[in-house]
Every structure is written in C-alpha cells, then in structure tokens.
C-alpha cells in the first residue's frame, strides 16, 4: 500500500521551513548539531523522517531537541529508536540525505525511502518530542511538529525534559508500559521507588557507625534541564539523600554549560563556577541535557580530584560482580570503553576485577550496541556518559532465583538487590540522575565516600585539547579512533612524539558535535601529559590546516 506522499510536505517546507543553508550538514556523534539559527528546516525534515521510521517499525519514535554540552547558542536533534536507543546507524545516511536535499526534492526523497523499505503509509503513529532549556528549543520543536503533521503522524509533546527521560518515554510506550509509565511522574516513581528500597535498610545508620558514607551531595545542574528535574528528586528523596542544588539559572541567561557542567569539569579538570568550595565534600556535575555525570572533590590542600566516567564504570562493574558472586548465578559481564578511557582504569578492570573490556568508537550508540553482546553490559565514556544494559535472559535468571527455595537467603537477597538495581538504572541510554542514584547506592552499600572510591587505582595524568582546523573532515581514523589514517604521515609523527614519553599514549579525532578536532594525551606525569598533548596538537595544526592561534600549553 505505497501511497504517493502528499504535496503539503513541499508546501509546508516552502512557506514555513525553507532550506536556508547551502552547505551540507551531517548526522554526527549524536545527531545534527550546529548554531540554532541554521536548524529550522533540519528539524522539520527530522519530523518527516521520524514518521517514516515509526511507520516502518510500526512503533513510537522519539525526537529530542538539544545540543547537550555545547554552548547555549547551538542546538541539535537526536532521533530515538523504539527500544529507547539511538537511531539505527543505517538510517543516519537517510537523515543526512533528508537534511540536505532541496525543498522541491522532499516529495521525491520521501517516495524513495517508502519504496526502499516498503513503508506502509496508512498507519497512525506517535512521535514523542522533548526539548532542553535552550531559548531556541520551543521554535525548533514547533518545526519538528510541523514535519510530523505534514505526514499525518501524531506528535506527543513532552515539553522540557532531559534526553534520558525522552528515551525512557519511548521505551515505555513501545513496551506497552512494561518498562514503566511514559510520564515524568512515572519516571520519578520508578527510579525513586527502587532507590528508596535499596537504601531503606541503611537509611538510619548511613552517617554513623564505621561507614564513611555521608548522605550529602553538592549537585551542579549546569544551568540546564538537569537543574530543573533534580528538584523532583529532592522532594521525593527526603533525608535518604540530601542533594544541594547549584547552577540553576533561568532560561535564556546565557549561562547554560558556561564554566560549569560535566563537560567543563571533565575537559578542564577544574571545579565549576557556582558550587561552594568545601573540602572533601562529594560533588557532581551533569551536562546540558542531563545525560552525563562526573563526580569530584577538593581535598584539604585545595587539590582537585576528578571521578569521571571510567571511575563510575569501575565502581559499578565491581559492585555488580560482587553481587553476582553472592547470588552464585553465572552471568557474563563485560565493560565497554572508548579510547578516552584512562589506561589505568583499563588495567584495573582487566587485571584486578577480571572483567573483559572492549574498546569502541566515541558515541553512546557504539557503546550501547557493543554492550548488548553481554548478558550484563556496563558501558561508559570517560566524559561520564553511560549506563548498564541487562539481557532478558539475565533478568529472568535473577527473577527465578528470588523464588528458588534451593538457594540460601543470602543468595536470594543478592538476586533481589540486583533486580532493584535494574530499576534504578535507565537502560535506554546514559542518564546522569539515574547514574547518580546508582553511584550513591553503591557508595552507601560499601560504606565509602569519594576518597575510598578514588583509592581503587591511580589515574594516569591526562589532557584533552581542542584544535581548530579549516575542515575537520580531513582527519579520518581507524581502530576505534586510535589510529589516524589521513592526512598521510600524521600518525607517524604522533607515534614519534609518543615514544618520547613514559607511559605515553595519544590520539586525535574530529569531533562529531563541535567544529574542532579533539586531542587526547596521557603520560606518567602531569607535565609530560601536558607537553605531549600540546606537541600533538601542534602537529595537527601544522599538518591538517590549523586556523587561528596555534595550540598553547
Ligand atoms: C555526545 C555523545 C557522546 C560523545 C559526545 C562528544 O554527547 O552522545 O557519546 O562522547 O557527544 O562527542 P564528540 O567527541 O564527537 O564531539 P552529548 O552529551 O554532547 O550529547
């Protein structure tokens, strides 16, 4: 039943969302991302594509309007697939095509995709739409809705929500509420309910006895949606976890992610603005759409200590392994990282925890995909973006164990605890607040504060830098981004630089969310890591067409 798309698609585009940019735009690490004023027509077209994808999958699809960690003037769009995961990669090429054709070619590209996938055009489908707090988001969301309506889909507007909340709503809708209730209330209820269950027995003695855990946390909301939504948790968590919120400036003040937030803290390895300096107190920062989180503290000598995504991953993997051992159930557990993972964390995970590690390219879509190969897959990027996914077989085994009378009480309790942990976790995608609840649960269970957590291993000093070049696409990479293929000769130069440093490691890759090249370096000492990063950055600048000022220490 392939019907010709209706002419209104073009009329809508021509009159309300005409293509304004000549240069092509590409679906990057997490969708399209650029200056907000260049995105109106792209949003409209993603509304169209979302309806086509929904009809093809016969499922609800999500569209999230956000530029996450980027500056406030940027915006972007990510499509969410039926299980709440990122858009399947084979459709990214379609997204790019849709974004770049002329207005008068829209009808024909729609006809092309309908034909290619034999998409039934009669189904009534729902598209969940969410947006972050950027001032440009309401109008861009309206553009998405026009696209949805032009192809007779039904938009469901969730208003301002975090990215992981939108992913959760999509998963709930497509599982007929088995995953949870697809409302904000349903989300808070699920996460907080599980958290309170897990922490109930220790609620009274958490700050006493021989536990180092303190139920007080300073929270940097990056002046974004993470600041708004944490208030819902503050109310519901009460005394169990006392969250003090900082960086909750109003919408449109220009402060989003500015000198604060997870990306600022991780990239600069610095304490954010707006959070009071208190020695040895646990702090965390989320990013602009609350899908990433990092922890940190300042010690009594005013030294900054970062506990990033690698630390969170190791904490979680170690705890899951411990609990699994208590249940006596054999489930295969794996951990996924990217090249940004600190060498010391990888060594700790493989050698001390004896958990297998896989390394994939940057982008949650790659990590998530790989994690699904394990019965329990923990994945985290060093920047704090990650979660845990559990196969149905794993959940079933745990459920069976809770009612198995041949097991000991201890075994059954451990299985019960694991099932509750699954409910605290947002399995669809990295979720800063869900990750925070998980970390807090584990720290409390272990009687740890950040200092105990940090003692597990010592990070190798590392440095992240950005280099601006005329065209970042001249840099291409292979081997999970660890080897630079073009421009020719650059990798040899990088290798030569690395060989001068003890424990030296460095790689370069074009960012898929910002118009820059990222450089990562680590080495045995702080000074060496800094020097290696600067030297590699200079090579990139020289050999790949650097613009502006050359990189400096
Ligand atoms: C997005 C992706 C992350 C990625 C980050 C940086 O995060 O979801 O997986 O690590 O961009 O990507 P790149 O280095 O290509 O710029 P977010 O939080 O900005 O959506």
pLDDT in tens, 143-183: 999 999 999 999 999 999 999 999 999 999 999 999 999 99
76 CA closest ligand 1 atom index: 20
Mean predicted confidence (pLDDT) in 62-77:
98
How remote is the CA of residue 363 from the centroid of ligand 1, in Å?
6
C-alpha Rg value of the chain to the nearest Å: 23
Among this protein's residues, is 68 annotated catalytic? yes
Cα torsion angle, 26, 30, 34, 40, sign? positive
Which H, E and C letters describe 335-403, residue by residue?
EEEECCCCHHHHHHHHHHCCCCEEEECCCHHHHHHHHCCCCEEEEECCCCCEEEEECHHHHHHHHHHHC
Answer whether 514 contacts ligand 1 (Cβ < 6 A): yes
Q: In whole angstroms, what is the distance from residue 529 CA to residue 502 CA? A: 10
What is the tens place of the pLDDT at every residue in 413-439?
Answer: 999 999 999 999 999 999 999 999 999
Q: Report percent pLDDT > 90 for the chain.
A: 94
Say if residue 5's pLDDT is above 70: no
* pLDDT at site 1: 46
Say if residue 199's pLDDT is above 70: yes
Structure-token pair, residue 24: 């092509």
How remote is the CA of residue 400 from the centroid of ligand 1, in Å?
38
What dihedral do alpha carbons 479, 483, 487, 489 form, nearest 10°?
Answer: -130
Q: In whole angstroms, what is the distance from residue 439 CA to residue 130 CA? A: 26
* pLDDT at site 501: 98
Structure-token pair, residue 535: 């030297």
What is the tens place of the pLDDT at every residue in 207-257?
Answer: 556 899 999 999 999 999 999 999 999 999 999 999 999 999 999 999 999
With contact defined as beta carbons under 8 Å apart, do 513 and 68 qualify?
Answer: yes
Residue of 70, 225, 385 with the most ligand 1 atoms within 8 Å of its CB, for mutation: 385
* pLDDT at site 7: 64
- Smallest Cα–Cα separation from 104: which of 41, 11, 218? 11
Q: What residues have CB less than 8 Å from 209, skipping those under 6 apart?
A: none
Phi, psi angles (nearest 5°) of residue 474: -70, -20
86 CA closest ligand 1 atom index: 8
* pLDDT at site 6: 55
From the centroid of its chain, how far is CA 266? 14
CATH superfamily, domain at 8-160: Alpha-D-Glucose-1,6-Bisphosphate, subunit A, domain 3 (3.40.120.10)
Say if residue 205's pLDDT is above 50: no
How remote is the CA of residue 206 from the centroid of ligand 1, in Å?
35
512 CA closest ligand 1 atom index: 15
Q: In whole angstroms, what is the distance from residue 50 CA to residue 156 CA? A: 12
Answer whether 512 contacts ligand 1 (Cβ < 6 A): yes
Q: Which CATH code for domain 462-543?
A: 3.30.310.50
With contact defined as beta carbons under 8 Å apart, do 401 and 354 qualify?
Answer: no
Average pLDDT, the chain: 96
CATH C-level class of 309-406+418-432+450-454: alpha beta
Q: In whole angstroms, what is the distance from residue 273 CA to residue 345 CA? A: 28
Per CATH, is 186-307 categorized as 3.30.70?
A: no
Residues of the chain within CATH 3.40.120.10 domain(s) are 8-160, 309-406+418-432+450-454
**Band of pLDDT at residue 380, cut at 50, 70 and 90:** very high
73 preceded by a cis bond (ω within 30 of 0): no
Say if residue 24's pLDDT is above 60: yes
With contact defined as beta carbons under 8 Å apart, do 262 and 287 qualify?
Answer: yes
* pLDDT at site 10: 86
What is the tens place of the pLDDT at every residue in 101-152?
Answer: 999 999 999 999 999 999 999 888 999 999 999 999 999 999 999 999 999 9
What is the tens place of the pLDDT at every residue in 387-423?
Answer: 999 999 999 999 999 999 999 999 999 999 999 999 9
Residues of the chain within CATH 3.30.310.50 domain(s) are 462-543
How remote is the CA of residue 292 from the centroid of ligand 1, in Å?
9
Answer whether 362 contacts ligand 1 (Cβ < 6 A): yes
Q: In whole angstroms, what is the distance from residue 486 CA to residue 104 CA? A: 36
Q: Is the ipTM of this complex over 0.95?
A: yes
Say if residue 454's pLDDT is above 90: yes
* pLDDT at site 204: 45
Say if residue 469's pLDDT is above 60: yes
Structure-token pair, residue 417: 């605890």
Answer whether 511 contacts ligand 1 (Cβ < 6 A): yes
Q: Report percent pLDDT > 70 for the chain.
A: 97
How remote is the CA of residue 429 from the centroid of ligand 1, in Å?
12
Closest-CA residue, ligand 1 atom 10, reads: 363
Long-range pairs for 449-453: beta carbons < 8 A, 24 or more residues apart:
449/212, 449/213, 449/214, 449/280, 449/282, 450/280, 450/282, 450/295, 450/296, 450/297, 450/305, 450/307, 451/212, 451/280, 451/297, 452/212, 453/295, 453/307, 453/311, 453/315
């Amino acid at each position: 039943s392939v019907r010709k798309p209706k002419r209104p698609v073009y009329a809508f585009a021509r009159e309300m969302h005409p293509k304004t940019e000549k240069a092509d735009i590409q679906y990057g690490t997490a969708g399209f991302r650029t200056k907000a004023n260049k995105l109106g027509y792209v949003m409209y077209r993603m509304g169209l594509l979302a309806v086509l994808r929904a009809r093809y999958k016969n499922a609800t699809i999500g569209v999230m309007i956000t530029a996450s960690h980027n500056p406030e003037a940027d915006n972007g769009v990510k499509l969410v697939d039926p299980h709440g995961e990122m858009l399947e990669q084979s459709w990214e090429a379609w997204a790019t095509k849709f974004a770049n054709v002329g207005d008068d070619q829209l009808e024909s590209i729609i006809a092309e995709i309908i034909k290619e996938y034999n998409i039934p055009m009669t189904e009534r489908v729902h598209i969940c739409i969410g947006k972050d707090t950027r001032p440009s988001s309401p109008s861009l969301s309206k553009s998405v809705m026009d696209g949805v309506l032009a192809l007779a889909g039904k938009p469901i507007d969730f208003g301002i929500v975090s990215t992981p909340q939108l992913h959760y709503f999509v998963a709930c809708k497509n599982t007929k509420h088995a995953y949870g209730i697809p409302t904000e209330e349903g989300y808070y209820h699920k996460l907080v309910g599980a958290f309170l269950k897990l922490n109930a027995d220790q609620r009274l003695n958490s700050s006493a006895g021989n536990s180092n855990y303190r139920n007080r946390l300073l929270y940097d909301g990056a002046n974004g949606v993470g600041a708004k939504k944490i208030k819902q948790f503050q109310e519901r968590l009460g005394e169990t976890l006392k969250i003090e919120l900082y960086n909750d400036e109003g919408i449109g003040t220009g402060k989003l992610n500015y000198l604060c937030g997870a990306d600022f803290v991780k990239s600069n390895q610095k304490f954010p603005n707006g959070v009071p300096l208190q020695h040895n107190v646990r702090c965390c920062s989320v990013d602009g759409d609350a899908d990433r989180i990092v922890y940190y503290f300042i010690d009594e000598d005013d030294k900054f200590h970062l506990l990033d995504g690698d630390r969170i991953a190791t904490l979680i993997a170690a705890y899951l392994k411990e609990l699994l051992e208590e249940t006596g159930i054999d489930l295969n557990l794996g951990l996924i990282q990217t090249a940004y993972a600190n060498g010391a964390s990888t060594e700790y995970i493989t050698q001390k925890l004896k958990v297998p590690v896989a390394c994939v390219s940057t982008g949650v879509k790659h990590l998530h995909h790989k994690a699904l190969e394990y019965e329990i897959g923990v994945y985290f990027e060093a920047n704090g973006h990650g979660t845990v996914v559990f196969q149905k077989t794993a959940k079933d085994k745990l459920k069976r164990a809770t009612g198995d009378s041949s097991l000991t009480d201890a075994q059954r309790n451990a299985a019960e605890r694991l099932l509750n942990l699954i409910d605290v976790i947002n399995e669809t995608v990295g979720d800063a607040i869900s990750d925070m609840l998980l970390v807090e649960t584990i720290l409390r269970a272990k009687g740890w504060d950040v200092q105990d957590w940090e003692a597990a291993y010592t990070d190798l000093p590392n440095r992240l830098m950005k280099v601006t070049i005329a065209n970042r696409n001249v840099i291409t990479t292979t081997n999970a981004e660890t080897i630079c293929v073009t421009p020719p000769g650059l990798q040899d130069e990088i290798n030569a630089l690395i060989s001068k440093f003890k424990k030296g490691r460095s790689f370069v890759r074009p960012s898929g969310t910002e118009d820059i090249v990222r450089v990562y370096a680590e080495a045995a000492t702080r000074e060496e890591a800094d020097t290696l990063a600067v030297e590699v950055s200079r090579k990139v600048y020289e050999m790949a067409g650097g613009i502006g000022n050359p990189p400096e220490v």
